[in-house]
Structure 1
Amino acid sequence: MSEQTYLEATNLAVIEANSGARLIKGASLRLATGGALTLLGESGSGKSLLAHAIMGTLAAGLRAEGTIRIGEHRYDAGDQAGRQALWGRDVALLPQEPWLALDPTMRVQQQVAETHALVAGLPATAAREAALRDLARLGMQHAAPLYPHQISGGMAQRVAFLATHAAGARLLIVDEPTKGLDAGRRADMLAMLRAAQGEGMAVLCITHDVRLARALGGNVAVMLDGDIVEQGDTHTVLAQPTHAYTRALLAADPASWPAWKPDTAPGEIVARVDKVAKAFGPCALFTSISAEIRHGEIVAITGESGAGKTTFGNLLLGLLRPDAGTVTRASGLPRTAFQKLYQDPAAAFAPGTSLETALRDVVKLHGLAWDAVPPLLARLRLGAHLLARLPSQVSGGELQRFALARVLLLKPALIFADEPTSRLDPITQQETLALLLETASASGCAVLLVTHDAQIARAVAQRQIGLHA
């Protein structure tokens, strides 16, 4: 092993014990001290599974084969327990859902201090002081006494990073670190990862964000169906891809999308806000905002985290009342004509209820006919065999399309789509948004689309409403 190589995996495979199916089919990769390696690919390609095999955290029913070197330690990949001694001290994992990684009952400073105390071995007072210095370095000392539910998603991501990084592990595995973050928070995360590299930390990044892969540099391994189909210098691979799948990933990046051209011109006004203001306690989100949304129109709401994009949409839907100004919805429309498509589709479905039951409940509640469901699912490219499954048993893209089907059953006049694809890979994101636009255009429905991505707003919206924190 080269002196500069910190992580080396050779013929690493992940096998399902019952069926013998090879979910990872023999991956080999290297990562240097202070270097970056990005695992790039769509959801379900095996990126996170490969990282869990390296960490030794595979779920029950899965086993690993191959060899793994971390620093000076060499392991049989099947010996998961052997790598536990490295956790926190040599290898650290930053999971993709920061709020799930934080203890909701612990204050921010305590969360970071705990790693300094329990993993690095600092006395309690020194651990608290170290945590405060860490927070101050990222301009977050004001958040020290707060609980996770009192901070934004971007702040939670930074707190989770500090708690992960506190013990000085030399290998950091980050899983979708920019998912759902606006451009400013994405830049913050990139700066933190680069600073960690500057301190000699090796960064293994799991992402479907092509722009993050480019910015991190180093090397990239493109994964598809458990295989690494292309690997090499990031800038070379992304500038001159040799595999068709890599080319498809790049073509699906929003920067490459052609502009959406609706079939018809916008129609009558479906909703209007006039000089609207909204604040939560001392925090004023916006004042004197006026806008109108028309049938068949695609309007993007843009702005950084905390600017009030979701709040603005909820005002239009009637889920919130403005502090000042008026919200007017077109007369003669039922409340069900105003629908919301959520950012996280898993949160919009009961986890223990089949997808068929979720749709039949809507049909029954609103006196609809089930006959309308099969052609709608076909239009959204959802097979009837998926209806028997639980929400957790379909992909993120499929689940978001089921959420869209449930909304479309009510024949909405306006859909408030709140970051509906930020958690999806580029190919699934492009397909899901295309289906949303096509079905909305066919029915004359207006779409109010919240997005952090300026390229998506450029490609799909006829106009934009910009909010500023």
Structure 2
Amino acid sequence: MTAPLTSDTLLAVQGLGIHVGGQWLLRDIGFSLRRGEALTLVGESGAGKSLLAQAIMGNLPQALRATGQVTLHGIAHRAEDAAPRRAQWGRGLALLPQEPALALNPLARVAPQLAEVYRLLRQQPPSAARAQAEQVLHAAGLGGAGGHYPWQLSGGMAQRAVAAITLAGGAPVLMADEPTKGLDAHWQGHMVELLRGVLQAGGCVLTITHDMRVAQALGGQVIVLRHGHAVEQGRIDQVMAAPRHDFTRRLMAADPARWQPFATTAPGDSGEPVVRAQGISKAYGTQTLFAPMDLALHSGERLAVQGPSSTGKSTLGNVLLGLVAPDTGRVERSPRLRPHAFQKLYQDPVGSFAPHISLAHQLRDAARLHRRDWQAVQQRLAQLRVPEDLLARKPHQVSGGELQRIALARVLLAQPALLFADEPTSRLDPITQQEAVQVLVHAVQQTGAALVLVTHDPHLAAAVGTRRLDLAGAAAPAGAMLAA
């Protein structure tokens, strides 16, 4: 379904497809966006949503081929002819990428990276560019982080930094790939307002998200993708009110707000805890992440950790695992457990895999290390609906959602006694998220492991946690509703 092109059409695609060899990854996609219009892409993980954005940018991986037509600012191009669109990067066409870790220069501080955009794309003198960068970072809650390197930022902070840099060029055609993942409710709202600002300024926005609430907030059109095809397309209010396709109805039904809590197994609190922390605190510079606290976790417990961005949720897990030393207090881990019994499922799956080695090689290495046969790997991948042929690829050649599921399969090979899962489903659609969380919870129930789950979703926390901890406030019993 493609609206007729008009003089104020900023972006349109017709018959867009992507294939590798004889395999079609995306087929026959069409839409048009005029000034002030929004379009949201939703659908299953790995359906081709990010590939669609990369095809429009003219930045597909070398092995992939695009077909169809892309019209940008009134000028039509063959989809495979990337050069004209690449020439518009930053000024006329911009993409807020899904993985901030891959978008930021790890060797440059954040503020200079933002100032460079104002200097090169907006032609501002260096002093004005630096002042503008400081002002924008302050508005993004990053006023004290401009001098940090990207690796010193939390996932939510990096997400906001990349958004500031992407928007700085003022491109009227903006695509945003999972712009609210890793953000608490306040900063999710802030991000939506930034996207609305592009619309109010006369631009258009194409957003990729798994959160239907974001799609509703932006309004406009929605396309539901499955297996590379648009199974439903129309106005977001109409689709939400009366979805026609069964897959759309399943997406809506799988929202964590509709989940039933997972069964609670009695923790083994009669013996020593898996980990005990006494009086631990942590600060970075002048910022206190969390004040001295005591915490003990026994086998079978599931602790859901919440709190605003940059309050130390990931750091708390790193302290419990022994990856970071606390400023005060001490952490005691059960001496009966082997070192591999303490595992972390990283918020950024790309950063947890070797970039130049196939996924199959890395999973086989993990299976050998933990003395698990390959059949156990295959069974876990099947539970997570990960096609085994994906393993021939390298990490950057699969979608973020696919890589997140592969990371879950890998960490469960270790049969951990304590698993720290940092936003482990942030890149998954609601259906796949529900399936992955079921696999995760059932795995720790079978082995009696303790689970620490970091999530910004209060409904997910309520369904999974037997205990909950809000780093912005006090600990709460399971089921209590805390601010996200």
For Structure 1 versus Structure 2, the TM-score category normalised by the shorter chain is 0.7 to 0.9
Q: Tell me the residue number matched to 1:317.
A: 321
Q: Tell me the residue number matched to 1:188.
A: 190
| Cα distance, 1:243 vs structure 2 | 0.8
- In structure 1, what is the Cα distance between the partners aligned to 2:120 and 2:368? 54
| Cα distance, 1:364 vs structure 2 | 4.9
| Cα distance, 1:171 vs structure 2 | 0.9
CA contact (8 A) 1:249 1:427 kept: yes
**1:425 is the counterpart of 2:429:** yes
SS at match of 2:274: strand
Distance 1:119 1:464, change over 3 A: same
Q: Which runs of structure 2 are paired with 1:292-311 in the superposition (5 Å)? A: 292-311=296-315
SS at match of 2:343: strand
1:46 maps to amino acid: G
User: Among residues 253, 256, 259, which one is paired with 1:254 in the alignment?
Assistant: 256
Distance 1:431 1:127, change over 3 A: same
- In structure 2, what is the Cα distance between the partners aligned to 1:233 and 1:37? 9
CA contact (8 A) 1:56 1:81 kept: yes
- In structure 2, what is the Cα distance between the partners aligned to 1:339 and 1:68? 45
Structure exhibiting the larger radius of gyration computed from Cα positions: 1
Distance 1:84 1:149, change over 3 A: same
CA contact (8 A) 1:270 1:413 kept: yes
Q: Tell me the residue number matched to 1:25.
A: 27
CA contact (8 A) 1:349 1:391 kept: no
Q: Which runs of structure 2 are paired with 1:146-295 in the superposition (5 Å)? A: 146-262=148-264, 264-268=265-269, 269-295=273-299
User: What is the CA deviation profile of residues 68-98 of structure 1, one whole-angstrom value per residue up to 9, with x for unaligned ones?
Assistant: 3323323333332222333222212221222
| Cα distance, 1:431 vs structure 2 | 1.3
SS at match of 1:347: helix
Q: Tell me the residue number matched to 2:441.
A: 437
Unaligned stretches of 5+ residues in structure 2: 474-484
**1:79 is the counterpart of 2:90:** no
1:211 maps to amino acid: R
1:220 maps to amino acid: V
CA contact (8 A) 2:37 2:199 kept: yes
- In structure 2, what is the Cα distance between the partners aligned to 1:236 and 1:52? 28
- In structure 1, what is the Cα distance between the partners aligned to 2:65 and 2:358? 29
- In structure 2, what is the Cα distance between the partners aligned to 1:287 and 1:222? 44
Q: Tell me the residue number matched to 1:381.
A: 382
- In structure 2, what is the Cα distance between the partners aligned to 1:406 and 1:53? 31
CA contact (8 A) 1:354 1:387 kept: no
- In structure 1, what is the Cα distance between the partners aligned to 2:14 and 2:389? 37
Q: For structure 1, which segment, 144-153 or 454-463, has the greater mean C-alpha deviation from structure 2 after superposition?
A: 144-153
1:236 maps to amino acid: Q
| Cα distance, 1:222 vs structure 2 | 0.9
- In structure 1, what is the Cα distance between the partners aligned to 2:134 and 2:326? 38
User: What is the CA deviation profile of residues 127-166 of structure 1, one whole-angstrom value per residue up to 9, with x for unaligned ones?
Assistant: 4444444445545454444443444433433333333223
TM-score after normalising by structure 2:
0.85
Unaligned stretches of 5+ residues in structure 1: none
SS at match of 1:177: coil
SS at match of 2:382: coil
| Cα distance, 1:355 vs structure 2 | 4.8
| Cα distance, 1:434 vs structure 2 | 0.6
CA contact (8 A) 2:174 2:205 kept: yes
Distance 1:440 1:161, change over 3 A: closer
- In structure 1, what is the Cα distance between the partners aligned to 2:148 and 2:323? 27
SS at match of 2:456: coil
User: What is the CA deviation profile of residues 428-452 of structure 1, one whole-angstrom value per residue up to 9, with x for unaligned ones?
Assistant: 2221111011111122222111112
Q: Which runs of structure 2 are paired with 1:402-421 in the superposition (5 Å)? A: 402-421=406-425
Q: For structure 1, which segment, 395-404 or 197-206, has the greater mean C-alpha deviation from structure 2 after superposition?
A: 395-404
1:296 maps to amino acid: G
**1:2 is the counterpart of 2:6:** yes
2:469 maps to amino acid: I
For these two proteins, the number of residue pairs brought into alignment is 463
| Cα distance, 1:25 vs structure 2 | 1.5
Distance 1:288 1:138, change over 3 A: closer
CA contact (8 A) 2:305 2:455 kept: yes
Q: For structure 1, which segment, 114-123 or 94-103, has the greater mean C-alpha deviation from structure 2 after superposition?
A: 114-123
- In structure 1, what is the Cα distance between the partners aligned to 2:110 and 2:343? 35
- Aligned-pair Cα RMSD in Å: 2.9
- In structure 2, what is the Cα distance between the partners aligned to 1:314 and 1:150? 14
SS at match of 2:278: strand
Q: For structure 1, which segment, 316-325 or 191-200, has the greater mean C-alpha deviation from structure 2 after superposition?
A: 316-325
User: What is the CA deviation profile of residues 409-465 of structure 1, one whole-angstrom value per residue up to 9, with x for unaligned ones?
Assistant: 444322222222223232222211110111111222221111122111011112201
Distance 1:83 1:144, change over 3 A: same
Q: For structure 1, which segment, 19-28 or 302-311, has the greater mean C-alpha deviation from structure 2 after superposition?
A: 19-28
Q: Tell me the residue number matched to 1:337.
A: 341
CA contact (8 A) 1:352 1:390 kept: no
Q: Percent identity?
A: 49
TM-score after normalising by structure 1:
0.88
